[in-house]
C-alpha cells in the first residue's frame, strides 16, 4: 500500500466512516456453486454514504500487466488531499470471451479490494474459512491453503470444463487458485468433476 506523506486526516475520516458502514446484504447468485454473495453495487451502496459524509472518495482504475494479469488500483482520497492506494491483480484465464472474462475479473477485484479497504465483511468467515484466526491487526486470516498439487489439479479442471474462474474464486473466498482454503478443496473439486461428467455425457 502507498500513502500520501501525511495520513492523519484520512485515517481519522476512515475510522469514522467505518464505524457507520454496515455489512451489505447477499442477494447476488453464484450459479456455479448455488451460493449468494454481496455484489459490487451492494458494497458501494453501504460505502458511499459514509464516505461522502466524512469527505472521502474512492477511485478504482483497471490495468493489465505484461505477464497477462489484469488488476485494479484502488485509491481512497480525503478532502484534505491525503490519500491511500493499493493494487490487486489476478491471472486472466481466457476461455471463450476475452471481454467478458476481463470484465468479470475487474468487477471481482473491485469488490474484493473495496471491501478489504473499507472493512466490509461479505460472508461468514467462520463458516467458510475453517482453519483461521485473528492476527495482531484484528484481521481474520486463513492459515491453511491447498497444496501445490491440489492447486494444479483444480486449475486443470477449471480449464478442462471451461469454468468461470472469477465465480469459482468468489465461492472459495480466494485471490487465486493457490490461496483456496484447504477446507474448500473437496467441495470445489467435486463440483468441477460433476460439471466435467455432465459435459461429457451430453
Q: Classify residue 68 as exposed, middle or buried by CB count within 10 Å of its CB (0-12, 13-18, 19+).
A: exposed
CB-based contact 83:10 (threshold 8 Å): yes
Q: What is the pLDDT of residues 61-92, one digit of tens each?
A: 999 888 778 899 999 999 999 999 999 888 76
The model's confidence at residue 173, banded by pLDDT at 50, 70 and 90, is: confident
CATH architecture of the domain 1-123 equals: 2-Layer Sandwich (3.30)
Residue bearing the bigger pLDDT, 147 or 97: 147
Query: Domain ranges in the chain?
Result: 1-123, 124-197
Length of the chain: 202
Per-residue pLDDT, 128: 40
Amino acid at each position: 500500500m502507498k500513502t500520501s506523506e501525511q495520513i492523519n486526516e484520512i485515517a481519522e475520516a476512515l475510522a469514522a466512516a467505518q464505524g457507520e458502514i454496515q455489512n451489505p446484504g447477499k442477494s447476488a447468485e453464484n450459479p456455479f456453486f448455488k451460493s449468494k454473495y454481496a455484489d459490487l453495487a451492494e458494497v458501494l451502496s453501504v460505502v458511499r454514504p459514509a464516505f461522502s459524509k466524512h469527505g472521502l472518495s474512492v477511485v478504482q482504475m483497471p490495468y493489465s500487466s505484461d505477464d497477462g494479469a489484469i488488476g485494479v488500483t484502488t485509491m481512497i482520497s480525503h478532502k484534505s488531499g491525503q490519500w491511500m492506494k493499493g493494487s490487486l491483480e489476478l491471472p486472466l484465464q481466457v476461455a471463450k470471451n476475452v471481454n467478458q472474462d476481463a470484465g468479470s475479473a475487474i468487477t471481482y477485484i473491485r469488490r474484493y479490494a473495496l471491501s478489504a479497504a473499507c472493512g466490509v465483511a461479505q460472508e461468514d468467515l467462520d463458516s467458510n474459512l475453517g482453519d483461521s484466526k485473528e492476527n495482531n491487526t484484528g484481521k481474520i486470516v486463513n492459515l491453511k491453503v491447498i497444496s501445490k498439487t491440489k492447486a494444479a489439479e483444480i486449475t486443470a479442471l477449471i480449464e478442462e470444463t471451461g469454468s468461470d474462474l472469477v465465480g469459482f474464486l468468489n465461492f472459495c473466498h480466494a485471490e487465486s487458485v493457490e490461496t483456496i482454503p484447504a477446507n474448500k478443496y473437496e467441495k470445489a473439486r467435486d463440483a468441477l468433476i460433476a460439471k466435467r461428467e455432465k459435459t461429457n455425457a451430453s
